[in-house]
């Protein structure tokens, strides 16, 4: 079985920057030029891509991050280089080639941040510490004893069975109906005899 490696990024790299770092490493590992080409190769079960993914493992959190940051991933290109340079202050990014990134933020007016170009994630022998695949000790669910729970004000009254009967209508409300004149109420006209005839007869 091929040796499994994990991908990790530098401390402090997160969000879109981490997704781009992981994406760039995957493109280089699978020898694909863009994220769209990688997706198409995966759909076609390209042997080279399949073989590459047998040696690379991603955590559940990393997979979720890649799924949620498709915008920046779709902008990646290996050659000619199109690498995001992300401002650490406002978070906006621009695409840079192989040259140095811009010395100041080009997106947000007055922003003091200096964009940094994304670098590819590196291979590691163990999963990142934030891996959701790592076993988590979950506390056992405590058995609830409803009788032992403290009663808030009015709590017991709400749960008590309803013993009172709802009051019925007051006959006095209907005493005027005996003399009411309903002749003015329009009635629905009788259907035309034509509707009973067979149109195909």
Q: In the prediction, which pLDDT does 7 show? A: 94
Residue with the larger pLDDT of the pair 146 and 194: 194
Our CA dihedral for 74, 75, 80, 81, rounded to 10 degrees, sits at -120
Sequence-ordered list of residues with C-beta below 8 angstroms from that of 132, at least 6 positions apart, any chain:
59, 60, 61
Token pair in block for residue 22: 């992981």
Phi, psi (degrees; rounded to nearest 5) at 93: -140, 155
Q: In the prediction, which pLDDT does 167 show? A: 53
User: Mind giving me the DSSP string for the chain?
Assistant: -PPPEEEE--TT--THHHHHHHHHHHHHHHT-SBHHHHHHHHHTT-HHHHHHHTSEE--HHHHHHHHH-HHHHHT-BTTTTBEEEE-TTT--EEEE-SSPPPSS-SSSTT-----EE----EEESS--TT-TTS---PPPPPPP-GGGSPPPTTHHHHHS---SPPPPPPGGGGGGGGG---TTS--PPPPPGGGGS-TT-
Strand-pair category, 83-86 with 116-117: antiparallel
How many Å apart are CA 168 and CA 60, to the nearest integer? 61
Token pair in block for residue 100: 């140095």
**In this predicted model, what pLDDT tens digit does every residue of 123-163 receive, in sequence order?**
998 888 764 444 334 444 434 444 444 444 444 444 444 44
Instruction: Name the band, by pLDDT with cuts 50, 70 and 90, for residue 64.
Output: very high
Least confident of 2-6, 107-111, 135-139: 135-139
Decide if pLDDT at 99 tops 90. Answer: no
Q: Is the pTM of this model over 0.75?
A: no
């Amino acid at each position: 079985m091929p040796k499994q490696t994990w991908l990790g990024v530098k401390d402090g790299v997160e969000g879109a920057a981490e997704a781009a770092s992981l994406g760039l490493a995957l493109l280089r590992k699978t020898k694909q030029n863009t994220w769209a080409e990688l997706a198409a190769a995966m759909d076609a079960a390209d042997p080279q891509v399949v073989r590459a993914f047998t040696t690379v493992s991603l955590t559940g959190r990393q997979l979720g991050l890649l799924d949620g940051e498709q915008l920046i991933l779709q902008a990646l290109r290996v050659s000619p280089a199109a690498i995001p340079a992300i401002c650490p202050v406002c978070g906006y990014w621009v695409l840079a080639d192989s040259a140095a990134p811009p010395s100041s933020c080009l997106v947000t007016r007055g922003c003091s941040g200096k964009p940094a170009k994304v670098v590819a994630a590196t291979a590691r022998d163990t999963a990142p510490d934030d891996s959701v695949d790592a076993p988590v000790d979950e506390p056992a669910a405590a058995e609830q004893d409803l009788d032992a729970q403290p009663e808030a004000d009015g709590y017991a009254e709400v749960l008590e069975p309803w013993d009172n009967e709802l009051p019925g209508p007051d006959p006095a409300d209907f005493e005027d109906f005996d003399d009411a004149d309903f002749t003015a109420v329009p009635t629905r006209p009788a259907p035309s005899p034509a509707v009973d005839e067979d149109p195909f007869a």
